[in-house]
Amino acid sequence: MNNKKEHLAFKAIHGDKLAFEELLKGEGEKLYKIAFLHMQNKEDTLDVLQEATCKAYLAIGQLKEPAYFSTWLIKILIRSAYKELEQKKKLITLPEETITYILESNQVEEPTFDLTESLATLKPEYKNAILLFYYYDLPIRTIAASMGKPSSTIKTYLRRAKLELKQKLGDDYYAQRFT
């Protein structure tokens, strides 16, 4: 890993606030993307980022290995996102006109799925494994560390997630994205 990043992490662990801030600036874009993929809107994403940053700042002294700062921070972010999603249990309310139209309509259409919708229907652990592996090109070993699971479990999550996506999206779409 980058020596400068490790040095900053070491300094942050030992109480250097500016080093912690510098590390966060370097990780900011990646953290925002991960949070947004979980939360699906800007406001909730920013809330989760703020919560994760605060937790990380308070717990930085517990980080044992400076080289794993990024993984440690992602783990905190993902847990914060899960906690926020559990608290919200978002319900989508449709306007009355839409409900009336659906009820009065005699059209029955097959549902169509795109990748984002399909990912949203996966179990959270499957979704995380897919996003971290395919979108962020993280190695399985790093994903396992950030999720607190063995590498074999992450491989299982990836396999099961790909099977679910294949069923939902169809063979043609699946072949374009995950092969």
CATH domain 3-88 topology: Rna Polymerase Sigma Factor; Chain: A (1.10.1740)
pLDDT of residue 110: 46
pLDDT of residue 128: 84
For residues 172 and 174, what is the distance between their CA atoms, to the nearest angstrom? Answer: 5
Same topology between domain 3-88 and domain 111-178: no
Neighbouring residues of 17: CB distance < 8 A, sequence distance ≥ 6: none
pLDDT by residue, tens only, the chain of 179 residues: 468 899 999 999 999 999 999 999 999 999 998 898 888 889 889 999 999 999 999 999 999 999 999 999 999 999 998 888 877 764 455 556 655 555 555 444 444 557 778 888 889 889 888 888 887 777 888 888 878 889 999 999 999 998 888 888 776 655 555 55
Q: Is the sign of the CA dihedral 118, 79, 28, 6 positive or negative?
A: negative
Question: Is this prediction's pTM over 0.85?
Answer: no
pLDDT of residue 37: 86
Q: What is the CATH number of domain 111-178?
A: 1.10.10.10
Residue spans per domain, the chain = 3-88, 111-178
pLDDT of residue 60: 94
Tokens of 111: 């549902």
